[in-house]
Amino acid sequence: MKTNKTLRLGLYIGFLVTTLMVASPVEAETVLRTGNDIVVSSDEKIEGNYYASSFFGSTVMSGMVEQDMIAIGASVDVNGDVKEDLHILGANVNVHGAVEGDVRIIGGDVTISESIKGDLVVLGATVKLLPSASVGGDLFFFGGDAQINGVIDGSVFGSAESMTLDATVGKDIDIKINTPLQLGSRASVAGNVSYESQYDLIRNTSTSIGGEVVKNSVRVTDSNEALKDFLIPYLIILFSTLSLYLIFRSEIENLVAHITHSYAVSGFVGLGVIVFGPILSLLLMVTMLGLVVGVISFMLVTILILSGVSFASILAGVWLSKLITKKEQISLIWILLGSAVLYAVLLIPIIGPAIYLAFSTVVIGGLTIALYKLLT
C-alpha cells in the first residue's frame, strides 16, 4: 500500500513538472519559457503569446511579441514591443518598449519610458513614468510613491502615499493620498482634480487645470462604525465555522485529532500550500495544456485557505481546552471561546496576525493531508 502511494505521488509530481517545463503542443502559437534567467534577443520575434517565468532570476525581452506577454521574475525588463496586452509580476520592473494594449503590473519598483496605447494598472511600491512615456487610456496606481511625467490621454485614479505629477492629463485626476499632492510646472489637467487628503494641493504657478479642484476631507470613522467593522467579519467567520462544525462534526473531529498529533507536519504542508499553491496554479493556467488543471487547483487552494481561516478558531478552542482543563475537547462552547480569543488577538499589532496565520496554516496543512489520503 505504501509503495502504491509513493508511486502515485511520484506520478503526480512528474505530471506537474512536465506540464510546467514543457511548452504546450496544443497551442503552437504560445511560447512558454522557464528558468533562472530568460532572454529574448533583439533580433527574435515571437509570433504568438509569450509566457516567461523566472521567480528568482531575471526576465529580459528585447525582441518583439506579436500577441500577449505574461512575465514573472525578480526583475523583468521589457525592451522590445508588445503588440497586445502586457502582464508582469516582479520586484523590479522596467518597460522600455511600446505596448499596443493594456499593461497590468504588480511589482516593487516600476519604471515606464515608452508608449502604452491602452490602460496602465500598477500595484507597487513605486512607479515612475518618465517624460518619454505616454498612456493612451487611464492610469491606475495603488501603492507607495508615484512620479508621473509624460502624457496621459485618459484619467489618473488610485491611492498613494505620495504623488508628484508633472504630466499632461487628458481627463481627470481622482486619487487618495497621504501626503500633499504635488503638481509641477509642466502639469496640465484638462478636467477636474479631485483628491482625498489631510493636506492641501501644492501646485506650481505654471500648472494648468481646466476643471475644478475638489478636496475631499479624510473620512474619520467613529467608534460605533469601528466596532461594527470589527464585529461583522468576526460574526461571519463564526457563523460559517459553527455551521460547518454542525454539518461535518465527525470529519472535523477526526481532522483535529490528526492535527494535534502532528502540528509540525501539518504546519509545514500548510505553509507549502500557501506559498507555492497560487504560484503553481498560475503557471499551470498560462499553458493551454494545464489551463483546466490550473483553474481547478487554484479553486482548490482558495477553498483550503478559506477553510483554514474558518477552522482556525476550532483548533484554537481545542488548544484552550487543553491549556485550561489539561484535556483536548471539541464543543460549541470551546469553539466560541477559541474564536473570541483568536479574533481578539488580532488586535495586537504584528504578533496577533502572526498567531492567527499560524493556526490557519496548521489547519490548511491538515486539510491538505486529509484530502491527499482521501484521493489515494
**Domain-located, residue 12:** no
Q: Which of 331, 301, 269 is nearest to 9 (CA)?
A: 269
User: Residues 80, 62: contact at Cβ < 8 Å?
Assistant: yes
**Domain-located, residue 156:** yes
**Could you say which of 189, 216, 243 is where a domain stops?**
216
What average pLDDT does this structure show over 254-271? 87
d(CA 129, CA 60): 20
pLDDT band at 63 (very low <50, low <70, confident <90, very high): very high
What digits encode the pLDDT tens for the residues 302-344?
888 888 888 888 998 888 888 888 888 888 888 888 888 888 8
For residue 47, which phi and psi values (nearest 5 degrees)?
-70, -35
Whether residues 295 and 203 fall in one domain: no
**Residue 78 reports pLDDT greater than 90:** yes
The residue among 357 and 34 whose pLDDT is bigger is 357
What average pLDDT does this structure show over 60-75? 91
Whether residues 254 and 194 fall in one domain: no
Whether residues 258 and 295 fall in one domain: yes
**Could you say which of 216, 242, 266 is where a domain stops?**
216
Domain count for the chain: 2
Whether residues 177 and 241 fall in one domain: no
In this predicted structure, what is the pLDDT of residue 110?
Answer: 95
Is 305 exposed, middle or buried, given 0-12, 13-18 or 19+ CB atoms closer than 10 A? buried
Whether residues 128 and 229 fall in one domain: no
Give ∠ CA 103-44-111 in degrees, rounded to 5: 30
Whether residues 129 and 181 fall in one domain: yes
Q: What is the 3-state secondary structure (H, E, C) of the chain?
A: CHHHHHHHHHHHHHHHHHHHHCCCCCCCCEEEEECCEEEECCCCEECCEEEEEEEEEEEEECCEECCCEEEEEEEEEECCEECCCEEEEEEEEEECCCECCCEEEEEEEEEECCEECCCEEEEEEEEEECCCCEECCCEEEEEEEEEECCEECCCEEEEEEEEEECCEECCCEEEEECCCCEECCCCEECCCEEEECCCCCEECCCCEECCCEEEECCCCCCHHHHHHHHHHHHHHHHHHHHHHHHHCHHHHHHHHHHHHCCHHHHHHHHHHHHHHHHHHHHHHHCCCCCHHHHHHHHHHHHHHHHHHHHHHHHHHHHHHHHHHHCCCCCCHHHHHHHHHHHHHHCCCCCHHHHHHHHHHHHHHHHHHHHHHHHHC
pTM: 0.60
Locate 9 and state its grid cell: 505521488
**Domain-located, residue 28:** no
What average pLDDT does this structure show over 68-96? 92
d(CA 201, CA 180): 6
Locate 61 and state its grid cell: 525581452
**Domain-located, residue 149:** yes
**Could you say which of 216, 233, 255 is where a domain stops?**
216
Whether residues 250 and 153 fall in one domain: no
Whether residues 155 and 275 fall in one domain: no
Supply the range of the domain harboring residue 122: 37-216
For residue 175, the tally of other CB atoms under 10 A from its CB is 22
Whether residues 284 and 245 fall in one domain: yes
Whether residues 148 and 184 fall in one domain: yes
Q: Which of 31, 25, 78, 76 is nearest to 51 (CA)?
A: 31
Task: Tell me which residue has cell 470529519.
Answer: 251
35: left (phi over 0), alpha (psi -120 to 50) or beta: left
**Domain-located, residue 9:** no
What digits encode the pLDDT tens for the residues 149-191?
999 999 999 999 999 999 999 999 999 999 999 999 999 999 9
In this predicted structure, what is the pLDDT of residue 44?
Answer: 94
**Domain-located, residue 138:** yes
Q: Which of 203, 201, 113, 197 is nearest to 160 (CA)?
A: 197
Whether residues 62 and 183 fall in one domain: yes
**Domain-located, residue 242:** yes
Average pLDDT, the chain: 84
**Domain-located, residue 7:** no
Whether residues 186 and 41 fall in one domain: yes
pLDDT band at 35 (very low <50, low <70, confident <90, very high): confident
